[in-house]
Chain A
Amino acid sequence: MINTIKNFLGLDIKAAKYALADDPMFGRISDAKKPDKWVFSTCGYCGVGCGLYIGVRNGKAVYTKGNSAHSVNMGTLCPKGLSEHEMITSSNRLPSPMVRKNGKLQNSSWEDAFTQVSKKFKEISEKHGSSAIGVLSTGQLLTEEFYTLGKLVQLGLRTNNYDGNTTLCMASAVMGYKQSLGSDGPTGSYEDFQHANVIVLVGANISDNHPILKLHIEKNPNKPKIIVIDPRKSKTAQMADMFIPLKPRTDLALFNGLAYIVLEQGWENAEYLKANVTGLGDLRKHLQNYPPQEVANITGIDVKTLYEIARSYASSQAVLSAWTMGVNQSYMGTDTVSAIINLHLLTGQIGRPGAAPFSITGQCNAMGTRETGFTSSLPGYRNYGDEKAASEYADIINVPLELIPTQRGYKYGEIIEAIERGEIKALWVVATNPLVSFVNQTRLRKALAKLELLVVQDAFMSDTAQLSDVIFAAGTWGEKEGSYTNSERRCNRASKAVSPPGIAKSDFDIFLEFSGYFDGVRELIYPNWKTPSDAFEEWKRVSRGQLCDYSGMSYQMMELHGGIQWPCNEQFPLGSPRLYTPDIGFRTYDGKAKLLPLEWIPLQEPTGEQFPIILNTGRTVEQWHTRTKTGNIDILNDLAPEAWVDINPADASALQVKSGDRLSLSSPRGRVDDIVVRVTQTVREGNVFVPFHFNTQLINQLTTSSFCPKSGEPNYKQTAVQLHSVQVPQGIVMKSPEISGTLSYESSEVQSVPKTTGHIVQMIRPF
């Protein structure tokens, strides 16, 4: 009462709460949050991998500060990183494992949770075979945890139906690197942004998704020419000296066309090709289908511009092409990656400072799972089916060779399809939230409803966790130890600053303890393992001699040098900034990179009368993926509290909507209502953009089950949709439906609203 009165009268201006104090590490900072200790660590959000310190006060994380001595971020952090300590105390955290009883999820003991799941797993294995268990993991765990999880799933549970959300994200880059260069592994470094004379950003909106990379571009003393290739005039496109607004999903044709021009003009680096590359003849022949005029028609980019880009690749000292989801999330993602690599090989733009085809990873440790995780390959980029590699691996870890899987199981989408067919009965989801992130949600939800057991291991009560039968409550970033490997192959140290809430455990501990519920498994695969460093030591031995060689690393070195870029061994004691230098050969059988003939395929789901608009999805800087981590951080969530739809003024006027009005979107698979309109010239007429973060406007109800057959990555970026406003509920009517070429639209009062029940042929490619 007295306080209320005092407060009302403004007697207390809370000066102490807002005062500053001297901190020996960072100077004057908030006194109320002044930490008792700073813990060296690495950001747990995206693949940039920024070095930071976590400030801890009275056992609570209160500050996150960029590490100036870290080469990745040099002291800067993005908004998510700057507020990362708030994620730890999010109201969405899970303090205890939970088990569904009488239809309701209730807190349980670990023993209950583990017993229930292990019993069911065993039961299903006995009845339907161990492959009836599926596992979907993530790019968010620590490398030590990925390696531990992979062993448990493949060698313990003995199912190879194991994939990660990295398949929704980086899989095309993985498969593209593999088919062109012989192995996965991003070829360049962030420092290449500083060395390049030309920087090509293709399908990469780094301003929203990797803003810290701008630091490296800004540092470039050469005034690099920046070419941004994107159907959308994104925040990133604002940096462009040359903006290439190609038509959606014509990227592969574009790179083929550029390769054509390079060869036609004799601009190829003949010397480099002779020494390092195979397949030139076939490629040359194949490219005859991609003459400039044809490519101009496909991409909507005029011939003159095509020549200018090709010349930039050929005549510049160093060209860096960086890409992310625009390229990867495609039904021909793998081949598009290879088409980019083709161009770099042809012009010799690889393996030198500033010259690289370079994928930028989405998640903090997508690399860790790619290298160690047993999904797309055996640990250490050992190929499935390679007997020598398998026995080598079995020897190192001292398990019988029969235990080593010989082939890759189902990919992410195939796992869902197998659940649909009733083939997979139990699903274990680790630190990912398919109920927001996967395509074609209606289909996914129907499939998941068929499961006999859904186990979700997460630090947050995600949408998927809410659906589960059992929850393993996990620690998150800042609560556990290990390492993350970023986009540039830099292995960074992540440290524990605080303890997980309640009785939640680190993922590592969960895996170890859970393995104890299966006879003999723990002893076999985790002999004497106690801490993540035991996993790391084994991983170092496993990776020795492989391209992703960690054998020369130690946690101390990582802290001292701000992470180490693999390969790190006797030859490269402090790692190597880039791959495929004269010292690091290609990992193909003949040691040469492959030029590949790659076919451009027109849009899988072309627009048509009913669905005349192309929907593009993506992210915004304030939110992280499905918002399990950021949805409760006010300073982030306030800035982007819900989804919106970017729509060109021409389409807006056809629909009679203004910014701030509400729209519905429909596709053959569903309808999403109540999306706020943002009228903008950043999208072309006939194209809209909606961020995918929001379960409140679940845009993945519209996206389609169309996948890259090689990587299994879904084509999130182009979905044919219709827009419905209050004034024009029937939506936009297409004058002349075409796949490529200029489209024009008008609104119509006559056409009646087609109910979106899906009588349009669904373009579902086989999984």
Chain B
Amino acid sequence: MNDTATPLESFIGYKADTGMQCGNYSIDIPKLQEGEQYRFHFDATKCVGCRCCEVACNEQNNNPADIKWRRVGEMEGGSFPDTLLLFNSMSCNHCVDPACLIGCPTNSYIKFDNGIVFHDDPSCIGCQYCTWNCPYGVPTYHEERHIVTKCHMCHERLAADQSPACVQACPSGAIEIEAVNILEWMANDIDTSGNMPHLADARLTNSTTRFTLPDNMPLEMLKADEHHLKPAHGELPLVFMTVLTQMSLGAFGALFIGDILSLFGFFKPTWIFALLALVPAALGLPLSALHLGRPLKALSAMKNLKTSWLSREAAALGAFTGLMSLNVALYFFDIATAVRLGFELVTLLVGIYGIHAQAMIYRIPARPSWDRFSTNQKFFTTAYSGLFLVALALIISGTTDSATPLLSSAMILSVIHGFFTLGAYNELKASSTPQLEKTLRLYRELFATLHTLRWITLGLGALALPLLSTLLIASGLTSLAIITLVLGFVLIVLSELMDRFLFYTTTVPLQMAGGFFVGAQRH
């Protein structure tokens, strides 16, 4: 029975009589005028939440079921029978000022002339910083490919006047491609037509998607996935990397001050101390590559010094570690103190900038629990652990008189650090930001034990045991003091690793409303 002829040879030129963009495999869109770009229009008054668009996108791009470039979210407001179900079918908003692009350390995002924010796969190293930065949670990490992927508005189809798959698939004609004059959009329409409940303010990135919403929408629209309480990725390589580099900064600072004080007759640090300051960073930095999808390409993380804090961090901390290594040599070959001090000052400044850049990576609106001054405060004060490290080494090397003041400074800094940490936590309790409320719930409901342990270990490791060890030193029981302090240092490191893990895993990103079961379909 296969004798029948295919009625149509090709659908590309064929126009179904829908009166809408949907249904057809080809699309008529006006050529762009000066100052215009393409964008999506999503009409929520038409959408019935059928998810054809979502499945069509995956079919078009051969994406597996768990990689969704287009997602349909559900919200509900009002009360029966005046209940409003609101759907949001969203892929990428092809922003005028894309947070993904600005943050990307490898310049893997390209804003095409036609406005499409395109992700260049080969240059991506899988650092996933864009998935943190986009306030709509658009880019998604593709495990199998080791890179991030996202909607590119079916640019290859558009270029050939073919419809994007989602536009083609929607039976309600709720998704359209249109041209927008960027200046006009930013001048006013963006505020009236660029926003959707539960989405970050369109001004944040100057998102271009136009939303048509129902009239008289209830004030409160609840997300269908409001009940989801999912920890974020723990980012273990980054936990180690950040804590260790911050420890190095503290240790190096101590070294530098010690080197200055040695001019006044105090203990003169040796190359061993210089090496000690280097070790944590030297261990930590390469570890961070492990969180990349493509660790071998780690070096290209420095490509975007112009706009990416990640690039700056990578460059600065790389330099910091390199300079510290050279510094070991300066000590070893006993280069003139003045030269060394100058060199150390530069190194320290680079290190400080590195940790600043490191903190700034997290100062992103898309992750409210990170985007707080406490992040900078905590990152810097974690350096207290480096002071402990050096103090411990001093005691071991038998110079307890130099060790005691350093130990006291370490304790004071750790108390400050404790206050910052506590402050950051208390801020959560006072906040009414939905994401911060959830962060608090994560602390309380999923990580309560770890959180308690963090404080116990900090109290023991940074205060109780060091105090005990000073008593022991005063009583001349040096070896006992050393054991106490070693134990204390181990607890400190554990404590900071726990705290940093909590920092990562309790963050709740800005995100579109998701589905009841699947949530926003981001890992």
Contact = CB atoms under 8 A, between A and B. Distances in A.
Q: Do A and B come from one complex?
A: yes
Interface of A: 7, 9-15, 17-18, 20, 24-30, 32-33, 38, 40, 63-64, 66-69, 73-79, 82-83, 206-208, 211-215, 218-219, 221, 233, 235-236, 238-239, 243, 245, 481, 493, 495-496, 531-533, 555-556, 559-560, 562, 621-622, 634-636, 638-642, 644, 648-649, 658-660, 678, 680-685
B188 interface: no
Interface stretch (B139-147, B202-210, B306-314, B344-352): B139-147
B400 interface: no
B12 interface: yes
The A interface is mostly helix, strand or loop, or mixed, namely loop
A24 B12 CA distance: 8
Nearest to B44: A238
B162 interface: yes
Contact of B171 (A212, A235, A559): A212
B146 A211 contact: no
B18 A18 contact: no
B25 A10 contact: no
Contacts of B154: 28
A639 B121 CA distance: 28
Given A211-B50, A555-B1, A233 B25 contact: no
Interface of B: 1-2, 4-12, 14-20, 22-26, 46, 48-52, 54-56, 58-66, 76, 78-81, 83-85, 121-122, 124-126, 144-147, 149, 154, 156-157, 160, 162, 168-173, 224, 226-228, 292-297, 515-518
16 contacts: A20-B156, A40-B6, A69-B11, A73-B23, A74-B23, A206-B48, A211-B171, A211-B172, A238-B84, A245-B81, A495-B1, A560-B7, A638-B66, A639-B515, A649-B79, A683-B80
A493 B26 CA distance: 25
Contact of A24 (B9, B55, B125, B173): B9
Contacts of B293: 10
Contacts of A73: 23, 171
Given A82-B52, A659-B226, 16 more contacts: A9-B295, A10-B296, A13-B121, A26-B25, A28-B157, A82-B55, A82-B169, A83-B59, A211-B171, A218-B20, A621-B51, A634-B65, A648-B80, A680-B83, A684-B80, A685-B80
A531 B1 CA distance: 9
A678 B171 contact: no
A25 B6 CA distance: 11
Given A14-B145, A215-B22, A77 B169 contact: yes
A473 B80 CA distance: 47
A15 B122 contact: yes
A250 to B, nearest CB: 15
Contacts of A15: 121-122
Contacts of A83: 55, 59
A658 to B, nearest CB: 6
Contacts of A67: 11
B147 A10 contact: yes
A286 B146 CA distance: 72
A639 B53 CA distance: 14
Contact of B1 (A17, A77, A532): A532
A207 B54 CA distance: 15
Contacts of A68: 11, 14-16, 23-25
A226 B296 CA distance: 60
A15 B171 CA distance: 31
Contacts, number: 243
Given A638-B518, A659-B226, A660-B227, A18 B9 contact: no
Given A27-B26, A83-B59, A235 B85 contact: yes
A392 to B, nearest CB: 29
A181 B304 CA distance: 75
B52 A13 contact: no
B50 to A, nearest CB: 4
Nearest to A20: B156
A10 B295 contact: yes
B146 A559 contact: no
Please name the 5 residue pairs, one residue from A and one from B, whose CB atoms are nearest each other, closest first. A10-B294, A10-B146, A660-B227, A75-B23, A211-B50
A351 B517 CA distance: 44
A656 B25 CA distance: 50
B296 A9 contact: yes
A9 B294 contact: yes
B23 A66 contact: yes
Contact of A76 (B10, B19, B169): B169
Contacts of A32: 62
A641 B169 contact: no
B171 A76 contact: yes
- Pick the most buried of B11, B172, B296: most chain A CB atoms within 10 A of its CB: B11
Nearest to B54: A79
A211 B52 contact: yes
A26 B25 CA distance: 6
B76 A682 contact: yes
Contacts of A63: 59
Given A24-B9, A79-B51, A531-B1, A69 B146 contact: no
A635 B154 CA distance: 20
Given A10-B146, A233-B85, A681-B76, A75 B49 contact: no
Contacts of B16: 68-69, 74-75
B80 A10 contact: no
Contacts of A64: 59
B80 A681 contact: yes
A33 B59 CA distance: 9
A17 B64 CA distance: 11
Contacts of B124: 13
Contacts of A40: 4, 6-7
A326 to B, nearest CB: 16
Nearest to A75: B23
B12 to A, nearest CB: 5
Nearest to B22: A76
A235 B86 CA distance: 9
A658 B25 contact: no
A644 B50 contact: no
B18 A25 contact: no
Nearest to A18: B62
Contacts of B23: 66, 68, 73-76, 215
Contacts of A218: 18, 20, 46, 171-173
- Pick the most buried of B48, B49, B79: most chain A CB atoms within 10 A of its CB: B48
Contact of A75 (B22, B144, B224): B22
A463 B452 CA distance: 49
A30 B9 contact: no
Contact of B292 (A10, A495, A680): A10
Given A11-B296, A75-B168, A233-B80, A30 B11 contact: no
B49 A214 contact: no
B1 A207 contact: no
Contacts of B24: 68, 75
Nearest to B293: A10
A209 B22 CA distance: 19
Contacts of A11: 294, 296
Contacts of A78: 50, 52, 171
B40 to A, nearest CB: 18
A681 B79 contact: yes
Contacts of A221: 19
Contacts of A562: 7
A560 B6 CA distance: 8
A9 B294 CA distance: 5
A215 B172 contact: yes
